[in-house]
Chains A and B, each alone.
Chain A
């Protein structure tokens, strides 16, 4: 039981990290960034490439090396996210929604098969595999790397939260989410803020990618597809557009999934998750923390 809860929270913290990017972008420009899951995949591959270029890393150094790679990857994936926004989404800012959604699918496709063309379609084994002793806490087996990774995830989320609540850029983001035209009139550089949003969201997804690669040890070019969907589910559960909701939704989805797969069997895990998504959209489309927004015409 405690084992299940712990596993759920651990996986959930990954979902939450990715869901944050989804939710931020959606909250600010009402765009479903399908390519977001692929940024996560890209993060894993960039981490893989940089770690491989380091050569052999002694086991004692693996955490430090991982942290350096994590930072580097966050910067690169953030940049790529900004690039995608610039090339694919910005020209369509005022287009019908359908066009933007199709562009997002195109961006996701390009990333997936671009990586598979460069790195090859076969799964890669991550050069650093986090291993460590396990301890027993209340009957759950918890390993040291799990604690480290979860601590990183929580730190990133807390950092993001205070960034959005405390800094002027964060205030600008919230303002644009409320009323983008109004914020433009009040002197906020909307394009710059949107660029930043994409940067932060993509950096977080990239971080999640490196962490997942280091933990699970295997990466492949389609790994972002399912997790992107799950992150979206997490964002919907928490209330899309709501930062705290995304974190809550991620953890909750992790828990639901852990219990669901225990109950139905592991092969039904993804089916269960998407069924949860559909159920949520039917019963409570605003999510747990989301507010009912009336669409302005």
Chain B
């Protein structure tokens, strides 16, 4: 079915935004606005400390948008996402140190290694139920961290030092402000890329798999391939995040890649609204800046994170800023006595599918 659909005329949205307020939040200029804020920020506050935090936040946005591909679009829970970041960071660090290469030249190596890591972990588990994937990725995260801790090529527990910064067209971008700008541009492109991926045919297949895997399979989507693609894209985003991370800190050690970090990235995606790139960006900025404000709370802040995670899932499982459906909204497939609301919902769904059908035929 999806073979013959001309996506250019496919319906962009079902229904109008609920209010002017939500229309504001869905405007196309929002991405530019965020980019503008990121560009203007150093003019407001350019202390080394602020730049450091801002760069970390920007890298965190990249990680969250990568995990959003896996968890948000495709609905696969990855609990060891930081492992891909570790693979990227270590590859970049080792390669650039060993051959004295500028760090941007390590990108091909980073891509190869992260794709390989994605295949190793994704290929055996994606055929199984998604629960298995969750726990295997958790184990994989530990494998990567322990391996980095044990090998000599990765510097053992003390890690790798003196990773070169970014040099581009003869310019040295290692100082805080230029490096920040480089990260903003690099990350913006990748975030935009992930948003475009979400709207592509592959992206629609991902959402279909997320909503109902069996139906997707029945409709001719090769769910295994599609899931593996999501996984590998997520791995690439994570690996590039790791490369930036290595260039930013110029030193990496296994302690940077503990489970807590994976959980924080997941938190950003879940809170921001799974599948909605804008929400995820906001979530990532909030999660990465929040610890700076809650510093004196110590470990209690992670307790709050945990409780919030449960509360969000129980009360508002779609996140604070959920993705608005581009296609027909997901129907409720649970049985039981349906009230009046259910009837109207089903009606709305019917009209919605009618809309989309006419849209597709037009």
- A residues with a Cβ closer than 8 A to B are 30, 32, 34, 87-88, 91-92, 94-103, 105-114, 116-117, 121, 225-226, 229, 232-233, 236, 267-268, 270-271, 273-275, 277-278, 281-282, 285, 295, 297
Contact = CB atoms under 8 A, between A and B. Distances in A.
A229 B124 contact: no
Contacts of B142: 226, 229, 270-271, 274
A88 B314 contact: yes
25 contacts: A30-B131, A91-B314, A96-B317, A98-B130, A98-B210, A99-B317, A101-B134, A102-B313, A103-B313, A103-B314, A106-B306, A109-B263, A109-B309, A110-B307, A113-B299, A116-B299, A117-B298, A225-B259, A226-B142, A233-B139, A267-B150, A271-B150, A281-B125, A281-B136, A285-B132
A282 B124 contact: yes
Given A102-B313, A268-B146, A285-B132, 4 more contacts: A95-B317, A110-B310, A117-B303, A278-B125
Contacts of A268: 146, 150
Given A113-B300, A114-B303, A278 B124 contact: yes
Contacts of A295: 129
A98 B71 CA distance: 8
B214 A297 contact: yes
Interface of B: 71, 75, 77, 79, 121, 124-125, 128-132, 134-136, 138-140, 142-143, 146-147, 149-150, 210, 214, 259, 263, 266, 270, 274, 298-300, 302-303, 305-310, 313-314, 317, 334
Contacts of A107: 306, 310
Contacts of A108: 306
Say whether chain A's binding surface is mostly helix, strand, loop, or mixed: helix
Contacts of B313: 92, 95, 99-100, 102-103, 106
Given A32-B135, A110-B310, A105 B266 contact: yes
B30 to A, nearest CB: 26
A109 B300 CA distance: 11
B295 to A, nearest CB: 15
Contact of A110 (B132, B143, B306, B314): B306
B318 to A, nearest CB: 9
Contacts of B150: 267-268, 271
Determine which residue in B125, B142, B270, B306 has the highest number of CB atoms from chain A within 10 A of its CB, and name it.
B306
Contacts, number: 130
B89 to A, nearest CB: 19
B130 A109 contact: no
Contacts of B303: 109-110, 113-114, 117
A96 B274 CA distance: 13
Contacts of B149: 267
B248 to A, nearest CB: 26
A70 to B, nearest CB: 27
A108 B305 CA distance: 11
Nearest to B310: A106
A109 B134 contact: no
A105 B149 CA distance: 25
A236 to B, nearest CB: 8
A270 B146 contact: yes
Nearest to A269: B146
Contacts of B129: 97, 295
A92 to B, nearest CB: 6
Nearest to A84: B310
A95 B313 CA distance: 9
A114 B300 CA distance: 7
A295 to B, nearest CB: 8
Given A113-B300, A278-B140, A102 B305 contact: no
Contacts of A94: 334
Nearest to A95: B317
Given A271-B150, A281-B124, A103 B136 contact: no
A101 B77 contact: yes
A246 to B, nearest CB: 15
A107 B309 CA distance: 8
Contacts of B135: 32, 34, 229, 232
10 A-B pairs closest in CB distance: A106-B309, A109-B306, A110-B306, A282-B124, A274-B139, A113-B302, A106-B310, A103-B313, A113-B303, A116-B299
